[in-house]
Each structure stands twice: as structure tokens, then as C-alpha cells.
Chains A and B, each alone.
Chain A
Amino acid sequence: MQTYSALSLLRRAFGGHSSWQPHWRTPEPKPEYDAVIVGAGGHGLGTAYYLAKEHGMRNIAVIERGWLGGGNTGRNTTIIRSNYLFDESAGLYEHSVKLWESLSRELNYNVMYSPRGVMMLAHTIHDIQVFKRHVHANRANGVDNEWLTAEQAKEFCPPLNISPTLRYPVLGAALQRRGGTARHDAVAWGFARGADAMGVDIIQNCEVTGIRRAPNGAVTGVDTSRGFIGAKKVGVVAAGHTSVVMAMAGLRLPLESFPLQALVSEPVKPAFPCVVMSNTVHAYISQSDKGELVIGAGTDAYVSYSQRGGLHIPAHTLDAICELFPMFRRMRMLRNWGGIVDTTPDRSPIIAKTPVPGLYVNCGWGTGGFKATPGSAHVFAHTIARDEPHPINAPFTIERFRDGVMIDEAAAAAVAH
């Protein structure tokens, strides 16, 4: 693997940058692997990376129906934070934020993690009470989060309109200073490059169409659009398509897939210093390094795999953006798109073994799994390699719905996160 450093960039600049090699190979699938990961999003590629790096499993493949990073990893608004209410979630997301902090160095690849601060706006008395409860719970868990008055929020983010005459006035905010953004594609590419260098085969344009099992029920491999690929262990990380893939093994999960939309504006000079989220009025905004405003909208109401969604959803978000940030009223939007997010009833993920021996699943990240990419991948690799969960993901089982031990971030946040 060619490594990046100031010196290597300079040296190759003299050669007109013509000596760089591709980041990863395009291998033919082998007949059999020790483990196969279904889905080359950030979570799947990261899982392969940590399987190879920390568990010495090198004879593994990641199988992707489209191109790597082309799912929700490449479609999301990249908000990273860990100020979730419950102990289980705080443990999982904080594990991830800690990995983000050193990920560029770990991968020798700039994932552009930018802890510029994530500010969540409170617009109602209920919001204030919920956010203050989060602030206290987070501090008890060693996760930074602080309460700001409306004036302090404006000081932190000058474009914010805190006029009391707003339809939903800003009454205060919760700020996680270590939260921020990262470059979505770079996360997929960095993990792919690192995994490939350790011998992991990344097989793109190859759709998994079946899961084969031995008479005793254990997994023996996957049928794909490029033929059968044997595997002792199969880890499914297929986001919005998880129900479809798990049905191939006869499993039904507590999941529903919905379109979630985002849009970006024309690029402008740096004008927006942080990330602002408003769950109450459904608006999520930051500015990318290219200068585009990156805006997240809400989910459409119905189950869909269309990666589109209705125009009234982003229009509603833009109403809120224009009211909260009047200086953006004349900005033009360049592109909008949708991704298909798999949601669980409690809005917490499932990272677990399944009733099928050798089959593992990492899903249910819904509207908010990008932030968890390295942490999720890290504990899922542990789960696959050891055939038992890491203590951090042990509560995130499928059985929690049967046993009534939900991790109810849905009730805690009341909306998308």
C-alpha cells in the first residue's frame, strides 16, 4: 500500500502524480472464505478492516451489489455526536467518537473528521426538559454536552435567528463540542484501502441473492449474481436492504425501511461554523469544506426502497432553515436525493448474533448510523470473530424486543436523530 505523507505527496508531485496506484484491487471472488461481509458501506468495510487488523482474519471478502460507499454512507449528512440518553447508547456512540478522533492516523487516510460542535436547538418547554435531562445523563456517563441559553447559542452560531417572534422560537440549545462532521466517502475509501492492503477481497457489482445453509441450519455461504461463494461466517450489513437479505435465511426482523432525504446548496464562502440540528422543526445543517450547505430533511412516512421520497419533505425542511437562518433565504439548492434507512421500533441498532449459526447482523441504524461507523464496525468484527458480542454491543440484540429490554432512544428523542 502506498502511504501518504507530506514527503510522498511532494515526491509524486514531481512525477506529475502519475505513479499513484489504485486504492484497492478488483479481485475475482474465491470459491470460499472464512467470512463474508454483505454490504460495502462504511460499517461493512470497517468490519472487514477490524476483522483483519484485530482478529487476524485475512481470508475474508466484502460483497457489494453496487459500488462501495454508494449506499447511505455516500448519501448522509455526516453528523457525528455521542450525546445519547441511555447508558447503552452512550457507550456505543462514545466508543465511536473516540475512534473518529484518531481514525485518519489509524488509516493513514484523511477522513476529515472535524469536531466543530453539534448544537441541538430547543423550541418548546418539552425540548428544554428533554435536553437538560440529556446533558445531565451524558455528564454522568463522561460524555461532553452542555446547555446554552438562546444568546449563547447565537454567540456560538452567529447566523442563528433567535427572535422571539419565530413560529418556533429558539429557547436554548444543547451543545456537544466534540461532535462534528467527517467526509463520508473518505471513510468508506479509507477502510476499503486499509482492508484491501491486509488481503481482504472487496467484490463490487455482485449482489447476494441467497444464503445457503447446511442440514444442521448453519451458514455455508451465499449465492450471488456471480455464483456461489462459500463462507463459514456471514455478516450482513446491508442497511435499508437488511430485511431483504435476512429473508434469504428465513429470518424476519423488527425493521422497516423508509426514504430519508438530503440536499445541498450551491457552494459559498465559509459562513456556517458548526452543525445545527433541530429535531422539532426537522432541520439539520452544516457547511462542507467545498462550501455547500449540507441539509438533512425528515423521513417519508411510508416503507420504500425508491431512494427518492416526496418533494414536500425537503420543502418543509427548507421552510425551517429559512426561518432559523434568514441569510440563506436566497440560496439555491443544487441537488437532492434519498437514501433508504432501516429503522427499529426503539430507534437503536441491532448488532448481534442471529438464530442461524454463523449468521450475524448489523442493522437498524436508521437515520443516524454514520456517526457510529468505526465503533459499530469494531464491535461487530469482535462479534463475528469470537462468536460472542463485545460488552459494548451486548445489549443491542434482536431478542431485546421479545424480552422488553429496549434501548428507547426513540422515546428519548421523539424523532429522527
Chain B
Amino acid sequence: MLLIDCPYCGKRPEIEFSYGGEAHIARPADPSALSDEEWATFLYVRTNPKGIHAERWRHSNGCGRFFNAVRDTVSDFFVTTYKSGEPRPDAKVGA
């Protein structure tokens, strides 16, 4: 089981958390202005990288808050976690 560092509570076991998918996908400000292609991309298309991934987690069985994490999807190693609203930190594999 992974240990995840909640920015509010500290390290806790993975089962306390829910995964929230890729981070930094902003809902378009004016959805009706989008083409069908753009709307489908917003809803369904994901980067799904082999390597560094910025993703959302929620400490659902703890403080209940959402936050973001940068994780290496090859090793599952968490590079860092940060609060929602903060910019994505620059991260390299193994950093």
C-alpha cells in the first residue's frame, strides 16, 4: 500500500484516500463556445503518461480535502504533494 503525504495531515495509508484522476484539467469557462471535439477532449481524453503524472487525490477518510500530487507511474513513487490551486511543481523522474 502506498503512503500518501496529505498536505494538511501528513503521511497516511492509501486506503484513507480516493483517487481523483489527472490534475489541472480546468472546466472551460464558456462550455457552449466549444466544438464537440473540444468538449469530448475536456471530458474524456487524458494524458495517461508513463512517467511523471500530476493527479488529484482526496483525503476522504481524513480531513476530507482535495489536493494534488506528482507521482511517477512507473514506480508509483510520490515525488511531491501540494495544495489545490498551487501551480504544478517542476518534477523530474527520481527527483
Contacts and interface: CB of A to CB of B under 8 A. Distances in A.
Chains A and B bind each other: yes
Interface string A299-342: 00111111010111000000000000000000000000000001
Contacts of B15: 312
A415 interface: no
B73 A310 contact: no
Q: By DSSP majority rule, is chain A's interface helix, strand, loop, or mixed?
A: loop
Contacts of A268: none
Contact of B44 (A301, A302, A401): A401
Interface stretch (A123-131, A165-173, A247-255): A247-255
A342 B76 CA distance: 17
Nearest to A241: B50
B71 A302 contact: yes
B48 A312 contact: no
Contacts of B40: 254, 401-402
A243 B51 CA distance: 12
Nearest to A309: B76
Given A252-B45, A311-B1, A403 B73 contact: no
A108 B91 CA distance: 52
> Quick one: which of A255, A304, A311 has the most chain B CB within 10 A?
A304
B76 A403 contact: no
A94 interface: no
B36 interface: yes
Contacts of B76: 302, 304, 306, 308
A256 interface: yes
A181 interface: no
Contacts of B46: 243, 252, 254-256, 303
B29 interface: no
Contact of A402 (B18, B36, B53): B36
Nearest to A346: B44
A296 B80 CA distance: 32
Interface in A320-371: 342, 345
Interface in B38-71: 39-41, 43-50, 53, 55, 71
B50 A305 contact: yes
A286 to B, nearest CB: 27
B2 interface: yes
Given A303-B73, A304-B76, A401-B40, A310 B45 contact: no
A244 B48 CA distance: 8
Given A308-B76, A402-B37, A303 B55 contact: yes
A253 B41 CA distance: 9
Given A244-B50, A403-B36, 12 more contacts: A252-B47, A253-B48, A254-B40, A254-B45, A302-B19, A302-B71, A302-B76, A303-B46, A304-B73, A305-B50, A310-B2, A402-B36
Interface of B: 1-2, 14-15, 18-19, 21-22, 36-37, 39-41, 43-50, 53, 55, 71, 73-76
Closest 7 CB pairs of A and B: A254-B44, A243-B48, A301-B19, A402-B40, A310-B1, A302-B19, A401-B44
